[in-house]
Structure 1
Amino acid sequence: MTETALFSLLALQSVEGVGDILAKKLIHHFGDAESVLQAKSHQLAAIDGIGAILLKNIKDSSIYQKAESEMNFIQNNGISVAYFQDEIYPERLKHCFDSPLLLFSAGNINLSQQKIISIVGTRQITSNGTEFCKKFIEELVPLNPVIVSGFAYGVDIVAHQLAMEFGLQTIGVLAHGLNQIYPKTHKKYMAKMEQNGGFLTEFWSSSNPDKENFVRRNRIVAGMSEATIVIESAEKGGSLITANMANDYNRDVFAVPGRVTDKYSQGCNTLIKTQKAQLLTSAADLVYHLNWDLKTETKSVQKQLFVSLDPEEQKIYDYLLQSGKEMLDSIAIDCQLPTFKLSSLLLNMELKGVIRPLPGKLFEAI
């Protein structure tokens, strides 16, 4: 994108009353942002949605001063900008009707990897929620997904930290401009995140973390991801808004179930009960429902050193070591495990790199 094109897009964005949807409509009609701004008043007035007030705002010269100020910030701080028609713009987000016209980013973000998932939840994460999140992300490591969240307290920052711990790219979507960070206590994580991932926002440097911005932020989290995972949530909360947005965008949503008496499981249980989310008990559930192909994504599945197997997984592994290639039904009978449970265990073991599937529902130990 040229400097002239970016300047025109910023000027169009700064027009009071012109949001992402109308801006795209105008660009589609006139060809580009510069042509929109140069269009005659009668040409603009012919567009549905452009009244006298909006027409006056588009012709207000102050929009160019605002654009110049933001342009200087972008250039002086090494900010990357993605236009909604650019290749570097998140592919899934392009298909959301209300996606941002522009996305600003800092760090080392690479979205060529299409396995992008968002992890959200309460700001009051429990020890159980932290433990599940750690096990879940660790099991996904062989698939190298990108972990997206909102960089907030609780589930968000735990997901970011664990992604970094396990060497996965992680992206924090912010509800304010890139000239600041919220919450301030999370500033200590910024440098490490920017090494392998970073931050995205639609907001200018003049934007503060106002309440309404967090809802707008949530649509980016939901829209750019293949699936949204809710770890823990009370009956009401921002993560449920994100889950509903993901449903509206026809994305997969997963929720971790909990006891009916647990405050921070009520939201997840409701999502599952109302069929707005799939029940999630392990990474294997996600892999199964999204139909992720382990064979093509993990070069050649190799057994991890000192891999940890639970007793049932160890039983299966020992059986396959002794028996060689075996069919699913035979493993279920000989290991005395129901087929539905065995399927989940085998997926977990495949993620850990200790077994591999073969044609004909056969499995063998590595």
Structure 2
Amino acid sequence: MIVSIYHVLKYAPSCPPKIIKKLGENYTLNELCSLSFFELQERGLSTPAIHYLQQQNWPEVSEDMEWAKLPHHYLINFNDPDYPPLLKEIPDPPLLLYGIGQKELLFTPQIAIVGTRKPTANGRETARQFASALARMGLTITSGLAAGIDGASHEGALQVKGKTIAILGNGLLHYYPSTHRTLQCQIEKYGLLLSEFSPKEKPRAAYFPKRNRIISGLSVATLVVEAATRSGSLITARLASEQGRDVFAIPGSIHNPEARGCHALIKQGAKLIETVDDILEEIRPLLQRQFDLSLTVFAEEEKKAEAIKLEKNLMIILEQIDYAPTSLEVLIERCAGMKESLFSSLMQLELAGYIVSSGAGYTRLAP
């Protein structure tokens, strides 16, 4: 593996990415090291950066190179043929990527699914369902491995043996959040973990907004599932829009504060999404043009044929459950004549995937 300018200057002090990018596009590392102090100054390098470059003893770089020798570990610089082409198009692409897993996923069509870290049960299930459906159609689900919607999106893809990429806001030697340790290991095995931060770099608050540009930059579109008005996922949506990518948002209850960010996006021009078909309608031409990928749009008749037929008593109870949380007290009142069988019926409906339960009650899922 050849050491690149991008790799060495990543660790050089006082060395802005714009300078690194320009030098990397015009010189090899050997050519750059052969220049004099004054020639390097003329090309924009600071004195500390020049001293670092000229010492030609870069322990951090050597450490990274050893890490990259491990099975399925990768270092991908901006000039590498493995660098994802869509990511090159954004205004401030990462110049060095660290990866673990299946790097070929970088060349598959991706859709980002992001949202709040504190979703409702319905929001979590919606993210999981959309991710599963899109993954079945050949799309790679890209997200940030955060708690809430991000995690549910990765899980939805893995549940159907689909493809998923997690963009981390820390080095790949760390498990963050710790509750997603198992999920991170699954993605490492069946998908791809990706970060612009060196493997030992610990999570920092400033890193997470920064990595959002990679999530949107890798993807043909970004779908937001539940987001408060100050959610970090709105940063991802804004970046996607600035990068010229489609932004989609799923509306929610007007009483749900975690839906207000999605409503704001829709007011600003994001496409309102109710079904997977709404997404496919928008991205199909792009996928056919850039990836030669044809996707199947499920007709409503096919969806109905696939649905499990419910017994009459279960259907009656299901019709009493709202698409926003319905408390048990309200259900007991609405289903007064079926009180004895209510609890077992609710369990059957949840197991069949028609509803989800939470502390606030029971929520009906969209068909």
Task: Give the TM-score of the pair, scaled to structure 1.
Answer: 0.75
Q: Secondary structure at the match of 1:120?
A: strand
- Of 192-201 and 296-305, deviating more is 296-305
Q: Secondary structure at the match of 2:69?
A: helix
Match of 1:4? 2
Change in 2 beyond 3 A, CA 1:296/1:120: closer
Q: CA RMSD in A?
A: 2.9
Alignment partner for residue 149 of structure 2, among 144, 155, 162?
155
Change in 2 beyond 3 A, CA 1:46/1:288: same
Match of 1:95? 89
Matches of residues 149-188 of structure 1 in structure 2 within 5 Å? 149-188=143-182
Match of 2:357? none
Task: Give the TM-score of the pair, scaled to structure 2.
Answer: 0.75
Query: Using the alignment, how far apart are the partners of 1:234 and 1:56 within structure 2?
Result: 47
Alignment partner for residue 38 of structure 1, among 29, 34, 40?
34
Q: Secondary structure at the match of 2:100?
A: strand
- What displacement does 1:216 show? 1.6
- What displacement does 1:79 show? 1.6
Alignment partner for residue 290 of structure 1, among 267, 275, 283?
283
1:26 paired to 2:23: yes
Whether the 8 Å contact between 2:101 and 2:189 is mirrored in structure 1 is yes
Match of 1:216? 210
- What displacement does 1:57 show? 4.5
Whether the 8 Å contact between 1:9 and 1:34 is mirrored in structure 2 is no
Percentage identity across paired residues of the two chains: 29
Alignment partner for residue 133 of structure 2, among 123, 129, 139?
139
- What displacement does 1:51 show? 4.1
- What displacement does 1:78 show? 4.8
Whether the 8 Å contact between 1:142 and 1:298 is mirrored in structure 2 is no
Matches of residues 269-284 of structure 1 in structure 2 within 5 Å? 269-275=263-269, 277-284=270-277
Whether the 8 Å contact between 1:12 and 1:37 is mirrored in structure 2 is no
Q: Secondary structure at the match of 2:254?
A: coil
- What displacement does 1:144 show? 1.1
Query: Using the alignment, how far apart are the partners of 2:298 and 2:235 within structure 1?
Result: 37
Alignment partner for residue 45 of structure 2, among 37, 50, 53?
50
Whether the 8 Å contact between 2:164 and 2:191 is mirrored in structure 1 is yes
Change in 2 beyond 3 A, CA 1:20/1:56: same
Change in 2 beyond 3 A, CA 1:16/1:113: closer
CA displacement, residues 180-218 of structure 1 (integer Å, 9 cap, x when unaligned) = 211112111233223321200111123110111112211
Q: Secondary structure at the match of 1:291?
A: helix
Query: Using the alignment, how far apart are the partners of 1:140 and 1:194 within structure 2?
Result: 20
Change in 2 beyond 3 A, CA 1:54/1:131: same
Matches of residues 65-144 of structure 1 in structure 2 within 5 Å? 65-76=59-70, 78-111=72-105, 114-144=108-138
Query: Using the alignment, how far apart are the partners of 2:298 and 2:273 within structure 1?
Result: 24
Match of 1:316? none
Match of 2:11? 14
CA displacement, residues 286-317 of structure 1 (integer Å, 9 cap, x when unaligned) = 11111357996359999799722899xxxxxx
- What displacement does 1:253 show? 0.8
**Structure 2: gaps spanning 5 or more residues:** 311-367
Count of residues in Structure 1 that have an aligned counterpart in Structure 2: 304
Query: Using the alignment, how far apart are the partners of 2:167 and 2:156 within structure 1?
Result: 17
- What displacement does 1:271 show? 1.0
Whether the 8 Å contact between 1:141 and 1:168 is mirrored in structure 2 is yes
